[in-house]
Amino acid sequence: MQPILKVDNLSHKYASNWAIREINFEINDTGVVGLLGSNGAGKSTTMNIICGTLLQTEGNVSINGLNMKDDPIAYKKQIGFLPQQAPLYLDFTVQEYLEYAAQLRLMEKRHIKSAVDEVLEKTSITQMRSRLIKNLSGGYRQRVGIAQSIINQPKVVILDEPTNGLDPNQIIEARKLIKEIAQDRAVLLSSHVLSEINLLAKEIIMIEAGQVVFADTLDAFNNILQPNSMVIRMLHMPAVDELLAIEDVQKVELLPDNKCRIYFQPNDDLAERIVKMSSDKNWRLTDIHTESSGMDDVFKQLSSNVASTLQK
């Protein structure tokens, strides 16, 4: 089975500096794939090459086996793109703009009207079709941008910071729309808002210093850092020294409400041992739970690993 999108040994340099080097990943199914990376990591270069707006120095990109270099026009018909700044013509009406976007994608004239009607309905802006784009709110403008990215029913859609500048209600609406369009196509979503990636994506690709440093499921990404602290509540809190004497416990931090935080060396049975000790010594344990690392922590760790490697 052909991958929907395959990026193979992709490299590009500006002048003498490599922006990305040997980028490899595949998207094999519909749904949202999050594209992460620090500023200057190579995300924009990668997205621009995938979209066909930048010719790579080395490597190949293909959609369902169709190579961009072999047939760029046919390839580009399979892709939709919403850059960070939506390419809107403010003096066009919504309908005029979407018809123009369809023409740019070389759609057959007889299919354009039905395609415009379909994306207007899909993005819930049918009632705005005769409005000038300059008179639309930021949320509706973003919907128009998303509509143009799917007007040609592409196999792959690239969305670069699609909720940037939107208010909280508009962000919720945009996320819902992204989920809907990802039901029958692959969506590569770039965002600096990690909570957004966590809500929408099922897979993560992370680029740092021009190289892929992670490509796997969202769950695998979130589990990179093993939890190394737990919070315990005991009615009869023992002395700190007594807790520190427990094997694998490194540090104890006292908290309000008869709680403490224990930092420990990863160990599968530490919680079980603490429960047993509480029973034996009448500590009256009422709650114990490990603290998991968040996406921010994982992102920071992967970025730091790359930075440390480059400094050596």
Task: State the Cα torsion 162-165-169-170 to the nearest 10°.
Answer: -40
Asked if residue 300 is part of any domain, the answer here is no
- pLDDT for 310 equals 62
The answer to whether residues 179 and 274 belong to one domain is: no
- Sequential pLDDT tens for the chain (312 residues): 789 999 999 999 998 899 999 999 999 999 999 999 998 899 999 999 999 999 999 999 999 999 999 999 999 999 999 998 888 999 999 999 999 999 999 999 999 999 999 999 999 999 999 999 999 999 999 999 999 999 999 999 999 999 988 888 889 999 999 999 999 999 999 998 888 999 999 999 999 999 999 999 998 888 776 667 899 999 999 999 999 999 989 999 999 999 999 988 877 789 999 999 999 999 999 999 887 667 787 888 888 777 666 655
Same domain for 278 and 152: no
Q: Which of 152, 187, 217 is the last residue of a domain?
A: 217
Residues 95/129, Cβ–Cβ less than 8 Å: yes
What single-letter amino acid sits at 182? A
Are 150 and 283 members of one domain?
Answer: no
pLDDT at 309: 65
Whether 102 contacts 147, CB under 8 Å: no
Domain annotation covers residue 297: no
Q: Is the same domain home to 272 and 172?
A: no
Last residue of a domain, one of 217, 252, 274: 217
Residues 117 and 252 in one domain: no
**CATH number where 276 lies:** 3.30.70
The verdict on 89 and 145 lying in the same domain is: yes
Structure tokens at 166: 């939107």
**What does the pLDDT read at residue 185?**
95
Q: Among 187, 217, 247, give the residue marking a domain's end.
A: 217
- Are residues 88 and 11 part of one domain? yes
Is residue 305 domain-resident? no
Using the CB atoms, write b or e for 146-157: b if 16+ within 10 Å.
bbbbbbbbbbbb
Which residues form the domain of 203? 5-217
The answer for residues whose C-beta is within 8 angstroms of residue 89's C-beta and 6 or more apart is: 97, 100, 133
Query: Domain for residue 52, yes or no?
Result: yes
Count of domains observed in the chain:
2
Assess whether 211 and 237 both reside in one domain: no
Task: Say if residue 201 is in the same domain as residue 243.
Answer: no
Same-domain pairing of 38 and 69 = yes
For 214-226, give one letter per residue: b (16+ CB within 10 A) or e. bbeebeebbeeee
- Which amino acid is present at 249? V
